Amino acid sequence: MVSTRSAATVKRNKTTQTDLPQRHAAVQVTGCMDSLSLLQEDSKDRACVCCEQGNDLLSVVADLKEEVERLRTIWECESEIDWWSHTLPSLEKKEQVEAP
């Protein structure tokens, strides 16, 4: 079941108390199969376009999070390698100076 409001509907903004015109607002009540206006006409599986796009975006976000974590791990390892490469030469010099 989809409930729609016409262009004449006005919504009041509570913070500024101004009237905001609403051109079209659809509220999906019971699920994707009832949202016929959002269905792809040539789609055989009759899945909601918004839900498909949302699922695709969630998948992309998950992939990006994994990639960010992988790159962060690489960066941390490289930072540690850099730290050790700067620390070890100074330790070697210190040992050489202290040795008789």
Q: Are residues 54 and 85 in the same domain?
A: yes
- Answer yes or no: pTM beyond 0.75: no
Domain that includes residue 4, residue range: 1-30
* 100 found inside a domain: no
Which position has the higher pLDDT, 47 or 18?
Answer: 47
User: Do residues 44 and 26 share a domain?
Assistant: no
What is the number of domains present in the chain?
2
Q: Comparing C-alpha atoms, which of 52, 74, 40, 48 is closest to residue 60?
A: 52
Radius of gyration of the chain (CA): 29
What value does the mean pLDDT of the chain take? 70
Q: Are residues 25 and 52 in the same domain?
A: no
Same domain, 47 and 88: yes
In a domain? residue 48: yes
Is the same domain home to 45 and 6?
no
